[in-house]
Amino acid sequence: MEKILVLDFGGQYNQLIARRVREQKIYAEIRAWNRISLEEIQEAKYIGIIFTGGPNSVYEEGAPAFDPEILNLGVPILGICYGDQLLSHLAGGLVSSAGDAGEYGSTALYTSDHPLFANVPEQSVCFMSHRDQVARIPEGFQVIAHTDHCKTAAIADDRRWLYGLQFHPEVSHTEYGRQMLKNFLYGICGAAGDWQPENYVQEMIEQYRKELAGKKVLLALSGGVDSSVAALLLHQAIGENLVAVFVDHGLLRKGEADLVERTFRDSFGLNLIRVNAAPRFHSRLAGIVDPEKKRKIIGEVFIRVFEEEARKLGKIDYLAQGTIYPDIIESGRGDSAVIKSHHNVGGLPERMAFSGIVEPLRDLFKDEVRKVGEILGLPKALVYRQPFPGPGLGVRIIGKITGNKVRILQEADAIFREEIDKAQLPENPNQYFAVLTNTKAVGVKGDARSYGYTVALRAVSTDDFMTAEWTRLPYELLARASSRITNEIPEIARVVYDISSKPPATVEFE
Ligand code: XMP
């Protein structure tokens, strides 16, 4: 399989670069600059290398760099932003601060006739974000694009297949960025475009069928996209030998636990064990107010219940997890490897005896996982399920949790989600839900004074959940949701809409 190396120098768009490459049907892998050697790069036979952006200056002490021999491998290289400056620096050019002429944001770009700019007009818009720039291009290079403030917006050494872009082709603000990446990948690296999640699915199924023959594999199914897709994939490979344990902690959304059971046991015929552990979770959570304590308890009880089920099953060979690629990418920012384990099963492998862990989705980005889910026939409601926190409604009930409060919140949340779905918005919020606040308020229902809970509705639009805007939902939609919630749920007297963005607020209330 042809592969592109995305050599990570710590920039913020590195995952986006890899996703853009994969969109072009070429497999891309991200490696941190300080965790891969020249020899490994040579052995891996990449068809092209992309140097990413990064926050440093090439002359700073300890700034990310690489063995200059990488330029002589005969593998095409595209440097982006810091990657462009580093490429120039390694090739003997001069990088300097652009001073006040640093550029941030959309800028007019003037390109010349060059294969990197095939099907790109002479003038277009690019996205710049830099302080430094290439002041003197290295020998053998030529300038192939400029902006009003940057004379060296794109440079090329066609003889050695080295290219540098000061701007960011991977972000959507660069009008023809996709085309430029395509030109690099197909026109310059000579890619054939053989990467498709469809092929991956078949390959993985075949591989696991052989590797896991006769082995018993246990998977914690949460109903989330990742564990669901991992479950279906493994089920196709090893059938009955995959045992999926679904712990219903009684903090899921309305109807969700039944949907999971129906989908996986009835439609797909999975060997599924549903554990109705709601009473156990609720009793452990009784009286607890502190959100971090709630999270801790939910995590602990989850592990306990899961372990007990596993023990009943006898010998299990492997534990399967829905880890995806962004969970395992090592950052090029110089920090130690950041490896997240699946939230819900964190801590399990150490406590239980398995011969190993199976992670069928570890090479895939979220959008690819969804595609695989569709290929495997997972219902759309699960494929496009919005993110839902492991501790579930436990962190959306402010204050003490009771079974009654869970039911009230489930109803309100279901109405809000239903109204959003019915509204068929041009674009749905990325996450939307109801929260049961701890505030009671006076209202009037019929002729009588009522006293009931205040429910908060929350909807956010975001790319990565690190920052988020509150979604400007149409007033009519909010009005319908509010009126239905107060009419249909007697315990609720008041509905408010949360208009805080992140930061300073977070997505969840707790
Ligand atoms: P915050 O509230 O931190 O949420 O802005 C960002 C995203 O993370 C989800 N979230 C969690 N997911 N366990 C999870 O699995 C948790 O404890 C948790 N807390 C927040 C939240 O739903 C949002 O998508």
Which residues surround ligand 1 with Cβ inside 6 Å?
295, 343, 387, 389-391, 431, 465, 502, 506-508
Q: What pLDDT is attached to residue 12? A: 86
Best of 342, 465, 469, 471 for a ligand 1 pocket test (most atoms within 8 Å of beta carbon): 465
Domain boundaries, the chain: 3-188, 197-383, 401-497
Could you report the per-residue pLDDT of 193-206, keeping only the tens digit for each?
999 988 889 999 99
Confidence check: pLDDT of 223 > 60: yes
Q: Which atom of ligand 1 is nearest to the CA of 343?
A: 15
Q: What pLDDT is attached to residue 104? A: 86
Q: Which atom of ligand 1 is nearest to the CA of 390?
A: 15
Topology adopted by domain 401-497: GMP Synthetase; Chain A, domain 3 (3.30.300)
Q: How far does residue 389's CA lie from ligand 1's centre (Å)? A: 5
Give the span between the Cα atoms of 458 and 425, in whole angstroms: 16
Angle between helix 197-211 and 366-375 (nearest 10): 80
Identical topology for domains 3-188 and 197-383: yes
Confidence check: pLDDT of 473 > 90: yes
Q: Which two tokens stand for residue 455?
A: 């429910």
Residue 176 · residue 160 · CB < 8 Å = no
pLDDT band at 334 (very low <50, low <70, confident <90, very high): low
Q: What pLDDT is attached to residue 198? A: 84
Confidence check: pLDDT of 335 > 80: no
Average pLDDT over residues 109-135: 95
Could you report the per-residue pLDDT of 351-380, keeping only the tens digit for each?
677 888 999 999 999 999 999 999 999 999
Q: What pLDDT is attached to residue 350? A: 61
Which listed residue (2, 81, 249, 359) is catalytic? 81
pLDDT band at 341 (very low <50, low <70, confident <90, very high): very low
Could you report the per-residue pLDDT of 142-165, keeping only the tens digit for each?
999 999 989 999 999 999 999 999
Could you report the per-residue pLDDT of 407-416, keeping only the tens digit for each?
999 999 999 9
pLDDT band at 345 (very low <50, low <70, confident <90, very high): very low
Of the candidate ranges 103-107, 192-196, 264-268, the one whose mean pLDDT is the lowest: 103-107
Could you report the per-residue pLDDT of 30-82, keeping only the tens digit for each?
999 999 999 999 999 999 999 999 999 999 999 999 999 999 999 999 999 99
Q: What pLDDT is attached to residue 333? A: 63
- What percentage of the chain exceeds 70 in pLDDT? 95
Residue minimizing CA distance to atom 8 of ligand 1: 389
Q: Which two tokens stand for residue 429?
A: 């919020």
Q: How far does residue 214's CA lie from ligand 1's centre (Å)? A: 38
Q: How far does residue 478's CA lie from ligand 1's centre (Å)? A: 24
Q: How far does residue 76's CA lie from ligand 1's centre (Å)? A: 40
Omega prior to 474 cis, within 30 of 0: no
User: Annotated catalytic, 189?
Assistant: no
- What average pLDDT is seen over the chain? 93
Confidence check: pLDDT of 128 > 80: yes
Range list of β-strands (E), 112-238? 123-130, 132-136, 142-146, 154-157, 162-165, 217-220
Q: Nearest to residue 19, comparing CAs of 164, 247, 197?
A: 197
Domain 197-383 has CATH 3.40.50.620: yes
The CATH class that applies to domain 3-188 reads alpha beta
Q: Which atom of ligand 1 is nearest to the CA of 468?
A: 5
Q: Which residues of 445-459 are buried (b: 16+ CB within 10 A; e: fewer)?
A: eeeeebebbbbbbbb
Q: What pLDDT is attached to residue 109? A: 98
